Chains A and B, each alone.
Chain A
Amino acid sequence: MYRTIRTGTHSFAQGRFIRTTRDGRVEIDAGGRRLIGAAVGRGQTEVERPSAFVQALASLSLSRGFMWALGTIGLSASLSFGALPPAQAQAQELLNVSYDPTRELYREYNELFTQWWTAQGNPAPTLRQSHGGSGGQARAVIDGLEAGVVTLALAADIDVIGESTGKIPADWQTRLPHNSSPYTSTIVFLVRDGNPKGINDWADLIREDVQVITPNPKTSGGARWNFLAAWAWAQREFDGDEAQVRDYVAALLRNVPVLDTGARGSTNTFVQRGLGDVLLAWENEAFLALAEQGEGAFDIVVPSLSILAEPPVSIVDGNLADDAQRALATAYLEHLYSPEAQALALRHYYRAWDTSAATPEDLARFPDLELVTIDDLGGWAEVQPAFFSNGGIFDQIYEE
C-alpha cells in the first residue's frame, strides 16, 4: 500500500505505508528510508501549515534525507512567509540535458512547470531540453554543454560528470528523495502477440529457439539495466554461484542477433523489422510500443524478478550562474515530485511514487513484481567498472 506524504510546500514523498502516528501523521518507507509527514489524500490539495510540518520533520532521525528535508524547510518557510524576495524579475534560462525516451515527458512537464512557476509570481522561464544517448549526453556536459539540470538514465553517468568536472558534489544523489529518482521504471519482456514461443521468465531466454533483442550495454544506459536484471535473476536462481550466473548471461547473449546502439533502435528492430522473439525493454518503452502498434501486435510479459531502474536527476551546481538560476533549477527538479508531475510521469508509463493525482487507468497498468535495486548489486560505483568498463564482465563474456 503506497501512501503519499507532504514534506515541503511543493515536495512530496511516497512509499510503503508503515504506520499512522498519534497526531495523525503518516510514516512511510520511501526507498529504504523512513519519512514522516502529513498525509495527502487523493485530490486533497490543502497545504499543511509549515509549523506542523517542521514538527513532523523534527521527529526524523538524522538521516541522509534529513539534510535534504532541512533544505526544503528553508525553502517552504521562506515561500510561505514571503521572506525571500521574488526571484529576480528577469526571465531565467534553464537547459535540461536528458536521455532519449524522456523527450515527450519533459515536453509536457516544461509546460506544467512553467504554469506553476509563474503562479508563484516568477517570470516565465525559458526551458530548453536536449536528448540523446545517456552516456553521450553526459560527455557533452563534461565537454562544456551548459546544462542547468541533468536527467539521465543512470546514476553512473551523473557520477562521471561530477568526477571529471567537479560541477556536481559527490553526494548529489542524497539531495532529492528516492535516490534523486522522481520516477522509476523496470525491465520487462515485449513478445509477439499471443506469446507464440511461450516466454514467461528469464529461464526461457536461453532456449535455443528463442532470439532476444537488446541494445549494447556499452552504448545504451537502458541495456545496462537489461543486463543487470538478467544477472540479478540468475544470481537468485543459481544461489549466487558466479560461474553459473556467468554461463547463463553468456547463453543469453548468444541468443542476441543484433546489438543496437540505443534502446529506441532495439525497439525498432523488434517492432518494425520483425526480428527476434522477445525484446528486453524499459517498461515505459514497452507500453509506448503497445500504444503505438495497437494492443493486437504485442504482449508484455512480466518476469518473476526484475530490476528497479532509477533514472536520476540532479542540478549541475557548477553551471548555475547565480542564486536566481539555482532557485529555478532546484524548483524545476523538486516540482517533479509534485502530484501533478507525478501523474504526468505515470501517464508517460513511468512508475512514479505519488499516485494521488493520477487517473486510475494510469495506475492499473503497472503489475507488481519483485524488484532488486542497483544497491543490491553493489551500487553503480562497483557495478559500472566491474561489468561495463573495458575488459569488464560484458567484454569477458564475448572474449571467451
Chain B
Amino acid sequence: MKSGLMRAPSPMPGFGLAFGVTLAMLSIVVIIPLAALIGRGFSVGPGELWSMINSRRIWAALMLSFRAALIAALFNLIFGLLLAWILVRYDFWGRKFIDAAVDLPFALPTAVAGIALTALYAPNGFFGQFLGQFGIRIAYTEVGIWIALIFIGIPFVVRTVQPVIEELERDVEEVSATLGASRFYTLRRVILPTLVPALLTGFALALARSVGEYGSVIFIAGNIPFQTEIAPLLIFIRLEEFNYEAAAAIGIAMLVISFAMLLFINAIQIWSRRRIGLV
C-alpha cells in the first residue's frame, strides 16, 4: 500500500529537476569542498593522520573549543528562550528595537565584534575596569571566549524559538490553569515540551557556529597554548607553517566531533518527538 503511494505521480510537478539542481548546488558549495578537505587529510594515510592530531596541545585546543562552545550554547539556550518569550508575550516600550537588535550579531563582521568586546572587557575597558576591582578578569581568559561565543550564538536560539512561542495557543495554558495546575507546572509540563524541538535546533545551530568561530575569539582570547588557544587558531597556525595536511587533520577532527555532537542532539530530538508527539 505504502509503496504503491510512492510510485503514484506526485501532485507537485518538477521534483526531478528541482532535486537535481539542489543536489548540484549543494555539491559545489558544501559537499565537494568538505570532500576535498577530507581527501587532503586522508591522502597521508590514517596512521599519519592520527599522529598529526594526537598531541597534547591539539587535544587541549579541541577541548577548549568544544567546552567553550557548549557553555556558550547552554547559556544561549536559557537566555535566548527568556529573550524570545519576553519579545513575544510582553509589550513594552522599545520592544521593536530590541527585536531588531537580536539580529545584529549576524550582521556585524565577527572580527569587529571581537575587537569591540575586547575593548569593553579589557582591564582598562568599560566593564573590565569595574570587574577588575573585584579581581575578575574576563578578556584574555576562557571567560572572554565564552562571551564572544555567546554574542555570536544568541540570534540562533532566539530566532528558532520565537516563531514557535508565537504559535503557542493561549487556551492550552488556560485549560491547564483551570485544571488546577500552578504556573510553574504549566510551564514545565505544557509549554516547555512544545518548545523542546525548536530549542534543540537553536542549541545545535549556536553550538555548531561557536565551535568553528575564529574572528571574534582570537582578539579576546589570549591565544596562549594549553590555556586559551582555540582549535581554529591551531589550524591557522598549521597553514602559516605551510603544513596543509596537519591543518586538514585538525579540521577533520573538528568535523568528526561536531558530527557526533549534532547526531547526539538529533537523537534527543527524535526521542523527544516520539515521547511528546508534538511539532
Contact = CB atoms under 8 A, between A and B. Distances in A.
Interface string B9-20: 000000000000
Interface of B: 56-57, 118-119, 122-125, 139-140, 218-219, 222-226, 233, 236-243, 246
Interface string A183-222: 0000000000000000000000000000000001011000
Contacts of B236: 219, 261
Nearest to A268: B115
B240 A258 contact: no
B124 A259 contact: no
B122 A275 contact: yes
A275 B123 contact: yes
A256 B139 contact: no
Contact of A389 (B118, B139, B241): B241
Interface of A: 133, 135-136, 139, 142, 160, 164, 216, 218-219, 256-261, 265, 269, 272-275, 388-390, 395, 398-399
A256 B125 CA distance: 20
Given A265-B219, A275-B123, A398-B226, A257 B140 contact: yes
A244 to B, nearest CB: 22
Nearest to A163: B242
A399 B58 CA distance: 11
Contacts of B233: 261
Given A164-B242, A273-B123, A275-B122, 7 more contacts: A216-B237, A259-B222, A269-B122, A273-B124, A274-B124, A390-B238, A399-B57
B125 A219 contact: no
Contacts, number: 65
A260 B233 CA distance: 11
A131 to B, nearest CB: 16
Nearest to B56: A399
19 contacts: A135-B240, A139-B242, A160-B242, A216-B237, A219-B236, A257-B222, A257-B224, A258-B140, A259-B222, A261-B233, A269-B122, A272-B122, A273-B118, A273-B139, A275-B140, A388-B241, A390-B241, A390-B243, A395-B57
Nearest to A262: B218
A256 B224 contact: yes
